[in-house]
Chains A and B, each alone.
Chain A
Amino acid sequence: MSSQPAPATGSQPAPLLTVAGLGKSYRRRPVLRGVSLQAYPGQIVAVTGENGSGKTTLLRICAGLETADTGRVRRYTAAGYCPQEPALFDLLTPAEHITLFAAGRPDGAAEGRALLASLGVPLRARTLVRDLSGGARQKLSLALALLGQPGLLLLDEPYQGFDHGSYLDFWHHAQAWREEGRAVVVVTHLLTELDRADRVLELRNPPQGGQ
């Protein structure tokens, strides 16, 4: 992914992510149509919508893991992506994940250990991911997305499996990331949490019928 200078306008900070007119279909079934979004530094953008409205697809396209059929996506900074299902290696420990994902980065291992500790991931040396709780796996997945201190965070329901305390902690972390000047795009089903976001994008299911 190439990073390009962001188009700043006047006193408005430059966006870290711009999405314009995005469209995506799977085998003629439209999932996204005409979706536009901008995420600025120091903002939390909540992406909400009913099941099948394309929230995950939108984030995967923004992360660069899928291509859109139409529209434009531009990122102006490094992005960290936390998928809905933590994509991890079951037979590795959390620390070994950090070693793998941080390979080639100076201080990456120390940063990763600090992230695991701050998110409350168990650091017992021999505990494999397959033996972790769902919440602990999700925290590890989130820590991997945060490695390298990316300016843009793309988080797809990152708190699945969290207990209530961890869930609240997540939003405290999100506020801290915002205050650090990062842009946080978070998919959420929970309408009660929308007041924590600076902007809300509600996706609707496009009409079906192969249009």
Chain B
Amino acid sequence: MAARLTALAATHARILSRRRTAVLLLALLPLAFYGALYRHSPNAVTVGGVASAFSAGGAAIFSMLPARAADQRLTLAGYRPSVLITGRLIVLEVASLGISLLTAAVMVAGTGPPHPADVYAGVILTGLVAVPLGLALGALLPRELEAVLVLIGIVGIQITAGPDTVLSDLLPFHAARQLLDGAVSAPAAFWPQLAATVGYSIALVGLTWIAWARRTGPRPQDPITSSRADRPAGATEL
């Protein structure tokens, strides 16, 4: 299992490294949101930080959905769905961490918030939960378009909904947003936000695993019987 996990993680790292343009755009996307607001809005750090979820979640979606058929072959070759998910998760979380650190560093330098550590923490937690969210959307939805639209909806609502609304509380980036909001005002407690984000992430990974196992996993070959088995034959052996 370790050999397969290593091979799969190396594969996804290799694929990601060969998508240089996409990686560059993923790194620039949250900075574009921040750059559009940083002179005009006190929410620039929050928007830029939560917008990093577009990058991490989008990368996860496009790692899952186009590979569905190949993953089916990998399951036939002996890969477990848990390995298929974990291999991606490792690579994407590392990539997301890199984007988060870059985004946070630029925002701290640009805005000079009173609590810069919370900027780093908020952006990193955003990426931490955005990857499992993208994986889950990729596992649950049939095509890239649908998955990306749902991701845009979730992140967009998280950015625009008031931080104290019930809707905002339920969304996956609420804890990260608390930290980002607090970075420029009164800081939020770190550990509860970390616990909430990790809990959300674990739930999303579990959901992804179940959905991907159903979509790609080999089916049992135990006898299947039903009353329809005696219908006239639709095949002829020549």
A→B interface (CB under 8 Å)? 1-2, 21, 23, 30, 32-37, 49, 54, 63-75, 79, 81, 83, 85, 87-89, 91-92, 96, 99-101, 103-104, 128, 144, 147-148, 194, 199-206, 211
Contact = CB atoms under 8 A, between A and B. Distances in A.
Nearest to A72: B223
B28 interface: no
A1 B218 contact: yes
B18 A87 contact: no
Contact of B234 (A32, A65, A87, A103): A32
A116 B11 CA distance: 19
Contact of B224 (A37, A63, A71): A71
A104 B4 contact: yes
A92 B14 CA distance: 8
B226 interface: yes
B225 to A, nearest CB: 7
A152 B194 CA distance: 50
B233 A35 contact: yes
Interface in B14-68: 14-15, 18-19, 67
Given A23-B228, A32-B234, A99 B7 contact: yes
Contacts of B233: 33-36
B235 A64 contact: no
A9 to B, nearest CB: 18
Interface stretch (B69-77, B93-101, B104-112, B154-162): B69-77
Given A34-B229, A89-B67, A91-B18, A199 B237 contact: yes
Interface string B200-223: 000000000000000000111101
B165 interface: no
Contacts of A89: 11, 15, 67, 70
Contacts of A75: 221
A153 to B, nearest CB: 12
A35 B229 contact: no
Contact of A65 (B70, B72, B78, B232): B72
Interface of B: 1, 3-4, 6-8, 11, 14-15, 18-19, 67, 69-70, 72-74, 76-78, 218-221, 223-226, 228-238
Nearest to A49: B235
Contact of B219 (A35, A36, A65, A204): A65
21 contacts: A1-B220, A32-B234, A34-B235, A35-B233, A35-B234, A37-B237, A63-B76, A64-B76, A64-B218, A66-B219, A71-B225, A73-B221, A74-B221, A74-B223, A79-B76, A91-B15, A100-B7, A101-B73, A103-B7, A201-B236, A204-B235
B74 A101 contact: yes
A194 B236 CA distance: 14
Nearest to A154: B76
Contacts of A74: 221, 223
Nearest to A75: B221
Contacts of B14: 91-92, 96
A21 B218 CA distance: 20
